[in-house]
């Protein structure tokens, strides 16, 4: 097999689906229903962004920042529809990595999987790293005291030495994940309901101070302002694809995965729009700046009362817990799929017969994430997760087009409407957003990709299960 042939070899979608659930020494257990899958995606998407993103969106769009959430949702919808089709066609844990393997070949799949490592592992480390700061805010509001900066902030922050709260949140989530997928999903469901309840509390309080005059001059910056706001809030939608990483633990994946992806996007959009409307109705848009949070809106709405901000800070702490749980889960399942294909070491696909959990995989990933969050200033690497995510989204949209042409008769639990216009628009929106990112973000992304290619040629290509199958077939012939 030539170099080009080895790099472009594709793993048949039927074979990928047939291997679903199988690991070394055991199998993943199908325990998740539609509600759990939907809330997995909601938990990964509805993070701390909504608590703070209005401070960036409102100054550039005025009250019309609410429409910025709608615009961002429409942008995300194109990719969500493509995810829904591929998740219902290839319902496995690998998410966009597996979809790329079936449609564009091994090298593209590897690059996609490597980008997912950036999206999942680094982003969850960044979330865990910042959890200490929000925990301190809650402790200050509730008890008037904080943890010392030396043990609650990462190096690079003022006074920071080691971030012990980051280690704590990762440790607690790891204990949940090791108990089993069903138990993890149940805990996530409870935390998501708590998070939504806190946001509902915010809306109730904010709407008591609602002034229709605050909506006057609804779009002072016009369409350009709405577009700018949409770009700023788009990254608050990243995470709707989390359900696709649970493809091998879903009870009815072909039906439930597409529904979970689309329902989670609809739920999150509705929450964002209502919260945004309540905020701009309670506080004049000219009073917003980049530091304004929902807690500031509540302070203004209640005349400086502190207890509503205490409830809100509790919601932020819970929000970050669900993000750490769902994203860490997704990372382990993607590595599980890559290990089964031979592209990463076999240890990541070993499954406990007792708990049906990839134990070693979970412990290794959690330890890496905890150490990264505790002692490494993430800086631009964390910001580069956005470009890695958009790259994966673009590949999923392309994958839908390719798979429709190469395997038109495959069973599909969902079909993208207005094909091929929808996935083409999805690609264009992703490329457009990528083009608007900072130059330093591109530099970090390219360095990360180059490092990933070095790892692939040093290990992945030589150990590829698909490559070994081809070599065996050649020897037999």
Q: Which of 370, 316, 333, 322 is nearest to 125 (CA)?
A: 370
- Give yes or no for a contact between 16 and 101, defined as CB atoms under 8 angstroms apart: yes
Query: pLDDT (tens digit, 9 = 90+) per residue, 223-260?
Result: 999 999 998 898 889 899 999 999 999 999 999 999 99
Indicate the helix (H) or strand (E) that contains 465: helix 465-476
Query: pLDDT (tens digit, 9 = 90+) per residue, 109-130?
Result: 999 999 998 888 888 888 888 8
Token pair for 322: 């669900």
- Give yes or no for a contact between 442 and 433, defined as CB atoms under 8 angstroms apart: no
Question: Residue 69: CB partners within 8 Å, gap ≥ 6?
Answer: 229, 230, 233, 269, 272, 273, 276
Question: Residue 358: CB partners within 8 Å, gap ≥ 6?
Answer: 23, 28, 332, 333, 336, 348, 349, 350, 351, 352
Give the pTM.
0.92
Instruction: Measure the CA–CA gap between 334 and 120, rounded to whole angstroms.
Output: 10
Q: Report CA 163 to chain centroid distance, whole Å.
A: 23
With 0-12 / 13-18 / 19 or more C-beta atoms within 10 angstroms meaning exposed / middle / buried, residue 212 is exposed
* Nearest 10 degrees: Cα torsion 84, 86, 87, 93: -140
- Give yes or no for a contact between 257 and 84, defined as CB atoms under 8 angstroms apart: yes
Token pair for 124: 């969850």
Look up residue 213 and give its DSSP letter. Answer: G
pLDDT at 472: 58
CB 469: neighbour CB atoms within 10 A? 14
Q: Could you tell me the mean pLDDT of each successive run of 10 residues in the chain, 477 residues long?
A: 82 92 92 96 88 91 96 94 96 94 95 89 86 84 85 78 92 95 94 93 94 94 93 89 94 96 96 96 94 89 83 86 94 96 96 94 96 80 79 95 94 95 95 85 90 95 86 51
Look up residue 460 and give its DSSP letter. Answer: I
pLDDT at 277: 97
- Give yes or no for a contact between 204 and 211, defined as CB atoms under 8 angstroms apart: no
Token look-up 């199988």 returns 22
Token pair for 190: 């409870």
């Amino acid at each position: 097999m030539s170099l080009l042939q080895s790099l472009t070899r594709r793993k048949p979608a039927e074979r990928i689906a047939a291997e679903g659930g199988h690991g070394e020494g055991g199998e993943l257990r199908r325990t998740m229903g539609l509600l759990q899958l939907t809330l997995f995606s909601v938990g990964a998407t509805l993070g701390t962004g909504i608590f703070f993103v209005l401070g960036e969106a409102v100054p550039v769009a005025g009250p019309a920042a609410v429409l910025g959430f709608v615009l961002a949702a429409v942008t995300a919808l194109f990719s969500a529809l493509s995810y829904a089709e591929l998740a219902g066609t290839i319902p496995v844990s690998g998410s966009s990595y597996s979809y790329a393997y079936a449609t564009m070949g091994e090298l593209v799949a590897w690059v996609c999987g490597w980008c997912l490592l950036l999206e999942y592992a680094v982003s969850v480390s960044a979330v865990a790293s910042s959890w200490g700061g929000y925990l301190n805010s809650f402790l200050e509001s509730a008890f008037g005291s904080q943890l010392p900066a030396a043990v609650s902030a990462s190096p690079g922050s003022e006074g920071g030495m080691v971030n012990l709260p980051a280690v704590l949140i990762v440790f607690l989530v790891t204990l949940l994940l090791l108990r089993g997928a069903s138990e993890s999903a149940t805990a996530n469901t409870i935390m998501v309901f708590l998070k939504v309840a806190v946001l509902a509390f915010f809306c109730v309080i904010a709407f008591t101070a609602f002034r229709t005059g605050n909506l006057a001059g609804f779009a002072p910056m016009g369409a350009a302002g709405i577009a700018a706001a949409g770009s700023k809030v788009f990254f608050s939608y990243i995470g709707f694809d989390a359900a696709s990483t649970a493809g091998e633990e879903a009870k009815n994946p072909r039906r439930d995965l597409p529904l979970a992806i689309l329902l989670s996007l609809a739920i999150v959009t509705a929450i964002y729009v209502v919260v945004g409307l309540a905020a701009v109705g309670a506080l004049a848009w000219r009073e917003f700046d980049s530091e304004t949070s929902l807690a500031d809106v509540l302070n203004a709405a209640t005349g400086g009362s502190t207890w509503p901000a205490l409830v809100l800070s509790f919601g932020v702490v819970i929000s970050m817990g669900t993000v750490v749980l769902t994203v860490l889960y997704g990372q382990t399942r993607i590595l599980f799929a890559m290990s089964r294909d031979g592209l990463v070491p076999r240890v990541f696909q070993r499954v406990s017969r007792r708990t049906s959990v990839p134990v070693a995989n979970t412990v290794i990933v959690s330890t890496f994430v905890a150490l990264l969050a505790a002692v490494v200033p993430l800086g631009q690497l964390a910001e580069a997760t956005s470009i890695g995510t958009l790259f994966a989204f673009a590949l999923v949209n392309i994958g839908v087009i390719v798979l429709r042409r190469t395997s038109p008769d495959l069973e599909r639990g969902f079909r993208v409407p207005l094909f091929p216009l929808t996935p083409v628009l999805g690609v264009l929106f992703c490329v457009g957003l990528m083009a608007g990112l900072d130059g330093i973000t591109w530099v970090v992304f390219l360095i990360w990709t180059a490092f990933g290619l070095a790892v692939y040629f040093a290990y992945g290509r030589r150990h590829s299960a698909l490559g070994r199958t081809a070599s065996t077939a050649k020897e037999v012939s």
